[in-house]
């Protein structure tokens, strides 16, 4: 609450916090002073179900004592810890500081483990069960939101288990991708291809490259127009890892399959972004995570 941009809210929270405590104290005081007029038999005169009478006994002292201790504790807590608007508390405690301490403690405890794996090549790390258990946890925390807990991805999110890599699948490239992130951009190509009929023809030619169902006549007409796409995807449509251009010959469709899906991408283009993990994860954690991801499609290549 020390990040308020307006002092009004700081005063508002302070007023609510202290006002609530003072109201409880006032209620306790008024209750202790108040006396209910009782009948001669020490009841309030209220009767339910013909014979249930409300007694006029005072509250137990231990209950009153707990109430007072609660109020004292609340005042002490607000004096020691943040809670009164922008006041930081006498002890200087903060959630940011607590988080930093926990991170430092975890780094001290896990540092030797990560140092051990940081000195090993990815192929050996991928063969170590303990390292892969750590890598799986890192993956679930940092990557599964997009690629899925099984790493098989979904529409717009690459499958990491099939060996098809837009930017290359070596351990070094995977580590680079995780650390620095990636931004893949395909610009709208309809104007470069030609008319809507030309776009449809190119879409059928793209389908033909992977042997997918297509109109062969349209594919033949679309082949010359594909030169507008060849700068990135290559003359034969085999892709270009240097720019992250997908291979169009392998029947792997990241953004949807079929004529209409390809036409849509040609017309509107596509932008995908993978956020960088550098800064969130240490270099050693990224190395273990990259080894885990590499091992998903290279189990046979893992070195014992």
Contact between 300 and 150 (Cβ < 8 Å): no
Instruction: Tell whether 262 and 206 lie within a shared domain.
Output: yes
**CB neighbour list of residue 236: distance below 8 Å, 6 or more residues apart:** 209, 249
| pTM of structure | 0.70
243 within domain boundaries: yes
Q: Tell me which residue range forms the domain holding 176.
A: 102-181+275-301
Domain with 108 in it: what CATH number? 1.10.760.10
- pLDDT tens readout for residues 138-169: 999 999 999 999 999 999 999 999 989 999 99
- pLDDT tens readout for residues 177-197: 999 999 999 999 999 999 999
Q: What is residue 171's predicted lDDT score, i.e. its pLDDT?
A: 95
CA 51 to chain centre: 62
Instruction: Tell whether 86 and 112 lie within a shared domain.
Output: no
Q: What is residue 174's predicted lDDT score, i.e. its pLDDT?
A: 96
Instruction: Tell whether 151 and 218 lie within a shared domain.
Output: no
Strand segments (E) across 216-264: none
Task: Give the alpha-carbon dihedral of 227, 229, 235, 236, to 10 degrees.
Answer: -120
Q: What is residue 269's predicted lDDT score, i.e. its pLDDT?
A: 94
Tell me how many domains the chain contains: 3
Instruction: Tell whether 281 and 138 lie within a shared domain.
Output: yes
Q: What is residue 54's predicted lDDT score, i.e. its pLDDT?
A: 78
């Amino acid at each position: 609450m020390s990040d308020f941009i307006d002092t009004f809210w700081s005063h508002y929270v302070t007023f609510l916090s202290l006002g609530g405590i003072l109201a409880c104290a006032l209620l306790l005081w008024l209750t202790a002073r108040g006396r209910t007029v009782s009948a001669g038999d020490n009841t309030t005169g209220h009767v339910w179900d013909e014979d249930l009478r409300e007694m006029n006994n005072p509250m137990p002292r231990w209950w009153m004592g707990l109430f007072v201790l609660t109020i004292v504790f609340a005042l002490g807590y607000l004096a020691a810890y943040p809670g009164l608007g922008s006041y930081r508390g006498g002890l200087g405690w903060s959630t940011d500081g607590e988080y930093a301490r926990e991170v430092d403690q975890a780094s001290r405890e896990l540092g030797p483990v990560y140092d051990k794996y940081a000195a090993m090549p990815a192929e050996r790390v991928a063969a170590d069960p303990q390292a892969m258990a750590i890598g799986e946890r890192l993956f679930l925390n940092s990557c599964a939101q997009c690629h899925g807990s099984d790493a098989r991805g979904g529409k717009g999110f690459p499958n990491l288990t099939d060996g098809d890599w837009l930017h290359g699948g070596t351990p070094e490239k995977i580590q680079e991708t995780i650390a620095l992130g990636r931004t893949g951009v395909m610009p709208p190509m309809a104007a470069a291809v030609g008319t809507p009929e030309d776009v449809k023809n190119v879409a059928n030619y793209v389908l033909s490259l992977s042997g997918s169902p297509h109109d062969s006549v349209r594919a033949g007409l679309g082949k010359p127009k594909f030169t507008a796409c060849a700068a990135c995807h290559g003359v034969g449509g085999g892709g270009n890892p240097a720019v992250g251009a997908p291979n169009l010959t392998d029947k792997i469709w990241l953004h949807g399959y079929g004529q209409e899906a390809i036409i849509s991408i040609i017309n509107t283009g596509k932008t995908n972004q993978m956020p960088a993990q550098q800064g969130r994860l240490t270099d050693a954690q990224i190395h273990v995570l990259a080894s885990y991801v590499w091992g998903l499609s290279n189990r046979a290549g893992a070195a014992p």
